[in-house]
Amino acid sequence: MRTFMRILSAEQIKMSRSYIWVLLLVSPAISVVIGALADVTEGTTGGITWQILLGVMAMAHSMLFLPVLSGIFAALICRSEHSDGGWKQLLALPVTRGTVYLAKFAMIMLLLAAVQLLFLGALLGVGLFRGAEGAVPWGKLAASLFGGWFACLPLAALQLAVSQRWTSFGAPLALNVSLTIPNMLVANSADYGPYYPWLQPMLAMSPMSYYGDETFGAFNLPLASLMIVVTGSLVLFLAAGFISFRRKAV
Amino acid sequence: MNETVIKTSDLRKVYRGRAAVEHLNLNIGRGEIYGFLGPNGAGKTTTIRMLLGLIKPTSGNIEVFGRELRSHKLDILRKVGSLVESPSYYGHLTAVENLEAIRRIIGVPKGRIAEVLDIVSLTGEEKRPVKGFSLGMKQRLGIAAALLGGPELLILDEPTNGLDPSGIQEIRSLIKRLPAEQGITVLVSSHLLSEVEQMADTVGIIRQGQMVYQDSIAHLQQQAAGDLRLALSEPEAALDLAKRRGCGGELREGRLILPRMNDARVALLVKELVENGHAVYRVEEHRQSLEEFFLQVVEGGAS
């Protein structure tokens, strides 16, 4: 555990002076623009609600940015090791490969957690600015943000698995994007949507009643089934990456 | 007294059916500077990567500090500093940040960073991003990183590669200083004999993945020192005479081969041979440079 924290703290150093911090802001910033401009009061009598605002702002964030960012963070975290012999220096230190791998994974998830917190800030800011009705539904927001983050676990695991294996920076990202783009189609499918890992962040984050019709596409799933898909793919991807990393010839 | 620090037995690594390292028995004693010598592609780096647990041997055994690497990897690596192949660094970070990233993992005091930077003479450059460093500076940073944990064993793979002559000189004197000052054992690989000759106490020569020579530098120099060759009418009688005079020697291809001796002794011996009725056709000194000897060993002609 101590080694784990030490590697994590070393990872932090490696990320300083990189653009990774800018990436944290991209999605929340775009969400602010979407949230500020969206016309969501059409057809309703009252003003904007927190629920609707969350639905509007989380759409692009959870369908596109969260999956893509999982891939970018994974690729960035491995790139510094690939580019100038970092792996051999790191793995010749008194650390186990398992600890290194888990620390890298934890770092990706910490970055995604930071993105979620910034997104929460953006949501609260827009909500207060536009005078959303009622008290802030903390419970709902927390569930949505945590759910979205949790659903990123398998994506990050897969991306870390391919990023540690492929020395190219672009290839894992290309894979990531090509797996994320189908989200737009898969989201409409009640058959495939529930089982498509890249769609899970969106399913986990969106307030169900956003579409009014609760049977629309894959959106009517109970949280429990989402979590089974997420946990299952997490175990699979993380184990595959872990085994591959332990066997990696450096 | 002479404790073994690295000992490999029958080490073997096969890549896609081709043996990169085979039947390798390294033996490195404490406080030694061991020169690991061989042409490029002979298996030096492969061996070093196995010693550090970066790759797994196909078969064979590695013991470091008297313990098996396989089961005591972390305890062993805690006492080892290494620089494998080209130097490793994070280009966007400064020299200090690079060392700090390692320091946080191995948990040595912060002051150690300034110390190692001073040892490799990088003081004054520590605040610049490493991507702007020359190869020599990166190399020195790599050595600084290897020294950071205060290792008992330092493994340096071609540490002077790409350095200018003054840089080579600096690294060389640094390496030579380490065992004396801090009791560090050093394994240094090189494809240059002259370099190993100037640093190492013991040399191991590897060729096509196999150890072809392992002994002290002094012994190597002795073997390569050359000899005196005499062609005469009655070599056997001459050998007897030489032996009586305490010159040793042997017969090879009808010639009397004597170990090197000084001019006066050569003159005396020739005079006596002539006085004893031998016809001396030729007296030649055969000198083999260390370089020739090395090539001979490396090309497989060595006995």
- CATH code for position B250: 3.30.70
Helix (H/G/I), strand (E/B), else coil: B43: coil
Q: Are residues B12 and B158 in the same domain?
A: yes
A248 Cα to chain B: minimum distance (Å): 8
Q: Are residues B70 and B197 in the same domain?
A: yes
pLDDT at residue number B84: 93
Test A92 with B129 for CB contact under 8 angstroms. no
B229-238 core/surface letters (b: 16 or more CB in 10 A; e: else): bbebeebeeb
Contact B237, B278 (CB under 8 A): yes
Model confidence at A214, in pLDDT bands (50, 70, 90)?
A: very low
B10 located within any domain: yes
Separation CA A90–CA B54 (nearest Å): 10
CA-closest candidate to residue A56, choices A169, A144, A143: A144
Given the DSSP bridges, would you call strands B33-37 and B202-207 parallel, antiparallel or unpaired?
parallel
> Which ranges of chain B have pLDDT less than 50?
1, 302-303
The whole-chain average pLDDT of chain A stands at 87
- The amino acid that residue A135 corresponds to is A
Q: Are residues B156 and B249 in the same domain?
A: no
Separation CA B163–CA B174 (nearest Å): 14
Q: Are residues B141 and B280 in the same domain?
A: no
Q: Which residue of A has its CA nearest to B49?
A: A250
Q: Are residues B121 and B249 in the same domain?
A: no
Place of tokens 């399913």: A203
**How many structural domains compose chain B?**
2
Which residues in A lie closer than 8 A to residue B100 (C-beta atoms)?
A: 13
B303 located within any domain: no
pLDDT at residue number A225: 72
Test B88 with A88 for CB contact under 8 angstroms. yes
Which residues in B lie closer than 8 A to residue A13 (C-beta atoms)?
A: 93, 97, 100-101, 104
Separation CA A173–CA A175 (nearest Å): 5
Nearest to B97 among A6, A16, A83 (CB): A16
Q: Are residues B160 and B16 in the same domain?
A: yes
The per-residue pLDDT for range A71-121, each reduced to its tens digit, is 999 999 999 899 899 999 999 999 999 999 999 999 999 999 999 999 999
pLDDT at residue number B163: 81
Q: Are residues B123 and B150 in the same domain?
A: yes
A27 Cα to chain B: minimum distance (Å): 25
pLDDT at residue number A46: 67
The most confident of A135-144, A238-247, B275-284, by mean pLDDT: A238-247
Choose, out of B104, B106, B110, B139, the residue to mutate when testing the contact with A (most A CBs < 10 Å).
Answer: B104
pLDDT at residue number B89: 93
Q: Are residues B168 and B90 in the same domain?
A: yes
Separation CA B113–CA B103 (nearest Å): 8
Phi and psi, residue A124, nearest 5°: -60, -40
Contact B55, B48 (CB under 8 A): no
Residue A209 per-residue DSSP state: G
Burial, B78: exposed, middle or buried (Cβ in 10 Å; 0-12, 13-18, 19+)?
Answer: middle
Q: Are residues B47 and B14 in the same domain?
A: yes
pLDDT at residue number B227: 80
Q: Are residues B131 and B177 in the same domain?
A: yes
Which residues in B lie closer than 8 A to residue A6 (C-beta atoms)?
A: 104-105, 107
Phi and psi, residue B2, nearest 5°: -85, 85
Residue A133 per-residue DSSP state: B
Choose, out of A13, A78, A247, the residue to mutate when testing the contact with B (most B CBs < 10 Å).
Answer: A13
Percent of chain A beyond pLDDT 90? 56
Q: Which residue of B has its CA nearest to A18?
A: B92
B175 located within any domain: yes
Which residue range is the domain that position B170 belongs to? 4-222
- Kindly provide the ipTM of the predicted complex, given to two decimals: 0.86
B98 Cα to chain A: minimum distance (Å): 8
Q: What share of chain A is helix, strand, coil (3-state, %, to 5)?
A: 75, 0, 25
Model confidence at A41, in pLDDT bands (50, 70, 90)?
A: low
The whole-chain average pLDDT of chain B stands at 89
Interface of A with B (CB under 8 A): 3, 6-7, 9-10, 13-14, 16-18, 80, 83-86, 88-96, 249-250
Q: Are residues B134 and B107 in the same domain?
A: yes
Place of tokens 């085994």: A243
B127 Cα to chain A: minimum distance (Å): 13
pLDDT at residue number A42: 60
Test B90 with A93 for CB contact under 8 angstroms. no
Count of CB atoms within 10 A of residue A9's CB? Answer: 14
B54 Cα to chain A: minimum distance (Å): 5
Contact B271, B262 (CB under 8 A): no
Nearest 5°: the CA angle B242, B244, B250 is 40
Model confidence at A243, in pLDDT bands (50, 70, 90)?
A: very high
Q: Which domain-ending residue is among B222, B241, B265?
A: B222
Count of CB atoms within 10 A of residue A43's CB? Answer: 6
The per-residue pLDDT for range A183-204, each reduced to its tens digit, is 888 888 777 777 888 988 988 8
Q: Are residues B64 and B203 in the same domain?
A: yes
pLDDT at residue number B183: 82
The per-residue pLDDT for range B231-244, each reduced to its tens digit, is 988 888 888 888 88
B139 Cα to chain A: minimum distance (Å): 12
pLDDT higher than 80, residue A25: yes
Q: Which domain-ending residue is among B169, B196, B222?
A: B222
Choose, out of B90, B128, B131, B187, the residue to mutate when testing the contact with A (most A CBs < 10 Å).
Answer: B90
